[in-house]
Amino acid sequence: MSNLTDLAAAYRSYQDQTSLENALNLMRKLRGCRKVEDAIELALKWSDKADTLLQRTQLGIDMNYLGMFSQASPLLEEALPQWPAYPHDYYLIASEVMLTRYCLGNYQDAHPLFRKLRSAEWCEVWSRLSSPNGDNAWFLPYKDRVLEGQPVAGKRIMIALEGGAGDLLQFLRHAESLQREGAAAIYCQAPHNLHGLLNNGSLPITLVDNLQVDFDYITWPFSLHAIYQESPYFPSAQEDYLMLSDQYRLPEILQQKLAGERGKHRRRIGLTWRCESGARHEPFRSTELSTLVPLLEHETAEFFSLQVGTLSEEERSLLERYGVTDLGGHLQSFEETAHVLKQLDLLITVDSAPAHLAGACNIPVWVMLAQACDHRWYVGQRYTPWYASMRLYRQAALGDWRPVIEDMLAALTTQRD
């Protein structure tokens, strides 16, 4: 209700004073309420009325949030060279330019900019921007030890915490590159719900809780990726680089729920439909469980919910109505989730950590992508260079999941994976 109240207030302000500032505020409130068409219409209306550099820059950024990359690109490309005297502003705008380039398929220009922004030169800026209240005092003791192309043979490398669990799972593939180049030790900070998975997995890392360990160089998941992804077309899709322990045994409750009645011709499919990380791609990265009802009605599939966190009354009712086995309430770690996925035929999920987990373990996974999705998914309709076991299902219009569901239904019907 508060979103609608805020939207009404923004609309009144816009009516009282029709300015670009109020238009941008209204545009953001419309987006937050999933009123995409109205937000896009308003952005287009003002696209020729942004007179100042600041106005054109801000409009371009807001267009990016709406997936209007073609319209945002000229505004941001024009603005970027005019901000070099303001490092923080330059970094933010350059990040938006990088995003538009990737999302328009202009990888050759996007990739060098990505690597530049993750270089040691820019660490002080991005660490301040990503720190609460801009306080990056934690970074300053390490600013002369940032890894950027130095030989790592015989050196101790720290991969510090950055981003979410999915980001770490995606970029820990590069730990093997550090090992091949002779790193003496590879330390890694990770969320605690990843500890079991990573401690018992195959990656050559030692988990640590903080930076109070002797190391020679420090890096972060995205920075490590910038070092080793020398080409925008690398890597090609890899098989599993995260092997699971053969000795692991799922908790009894999960074993019981997975046993059930295994139909001879029914595919066992896991589901996650929302993410609560608060990333910029929300509210459109997630969806409602009700959106997936056409899938739940498919007679050749048996569904298992891997959605963690508190379920709404509507969600619980839908799971019960369609006979979906709820596993999410019993999952305590990514290690448990990974071993559950090993017993399923497929995971269908929005862009979230379980998608990266399945891909890293070479488990079949279909990922539902919003039209304004993360730039790392590039523009391939189905294929992704990140994971051999993954297929992508993309929105054509922001917020419209119907064609995505229809495409997945067609694939389920023909038993493709």
Residue 293 in any domain: the answer is yes
The pLDDT tens digits of the residues spanning 273-300 come to: 999 877 788 889 999 999 999 999 998 8
Which among 81, 97, 116 is the end of a domain? Answer: 116
Residue 291 in any domain: the answer is yes
Which among 85, 116, 147 is the end of a domain? Answer: 116
Residue 244 confidence (pLDDT): 92
Same domain, 277 and 137: no
d(C-alpha 51, C-alpha 79), whole Å: 12
Residue 199 in any domain: the answer is yes
Same domain, 221 and 304: no
Task: Show the 3-state SS of 39-65.
Answer: HHHHHHHHCCCCCCHHHHHHHHHHHHH
- Close Cβ partners of 234 (under 8 Å, ≥ 6 residues apart): 385
Residue 173 in any domain: the answer is yes
> What are the strands of the beta sheet with 156-159, ordered from one edge?
206-208, 185-189, 156-159, 217-219
Write down the residue that tokens 């009645």 correspond to.
Answer: 261
CATH number of the domain within which 93 lies? 1.25.40.10
Q: Environment class of residue 65 by beta-carbon count within 10 Å: exposed (0-12), middle (13-18) or buried (19+)?
A: buried
Q: Which domain covers residue 207, as residue numbers? A: 125-228
Write down the residue that tokens 């719900």 correspond to.
Answer: 193
Helices 252-259 + 334-341 axis angle, to 10: 30
Same domain, 64 and 199: no
Same domain, 290 and 212: no
Same domain, 165 and 21: no
Ranges of residues in the chain whose predicted pLDDT is under 70: 1, 261-264, 415-417
Task: Enter the tokens of residue 170.
Answer: 């995606």
Same domain, 194 and 326: no
Any bridge partners for residue 251, and if so which? none
Same domain, 159 and 261: no
Residue 240 in any domain: the answer is no
Helices 107-117 + 87-103 axis angle, to 10: 150
CATH number of the domain within which 298 lies? 3.40.50.2000
Number of H helices, E strands in the chain: 18, 10
Any bridge partners for residue 237, and if so which? none
Residue 354 in any domain: the answer is yes
Residue 236 in any domain: the answer is no
Task: Show the 3-state SS of 75-99.
Answer: HHHHHHHHCCCCHHHHHHHHHHHHH
385-388, long-range: CB < 8 A, 24+ apart? 385/233, 385/234, 385/235, 385/236, 385/237, 386/170, 386/235, 386/237, 386/238, 386/359, 387/237, 387/238, 387/356, 387/358, 387/359, 387/360, 387/362, 388/237, 388/238, 388/239, 388/362
Residue 26 in any domain: the answer is yes
Residue 4 confidence (pLDDT): 86
Residue 415 confidence (pLDDT): 65
User: How many Cβ atoms are within 10 Å of 21's Cβ, its own excluded?
Assistant: 12
Asked if residue 188 lies in contact with residue 174, where contact means CB atoms within 8 angstroms, the answer is no
Reduced to 3 states, what is the DSSP secondary structure of residue 109?
helix
Same domain, 279 and 376: yes
Any bridge partners for residue 268, and if so which? 302
Residue 96 confidence (pLDDT): 98
CA angle, 350 then 226 then 201, to 5° = 60
Predicted TM-score (pTM) of this structure: 0.94
User: How many Cβ atoms are within 10 Å of 295's Cβ, its own excluded?
Assistant: 17
Same domain, 201 and 299: no
Task: Count structural domains, the chain.
Answer: 3
CATH number of the domain within which 142 lies? 3.40.50
Same domain, 199 and 277: no
Same domain, 18 and 147: no
Residue 233 confidence (pLDDT): 83
Which among 213, 228, 243 is the end of a domain? Answer: 228
d(C-alpha 198, C-alpha 159), whole Å: 13
Same domain, 207 and 326: no
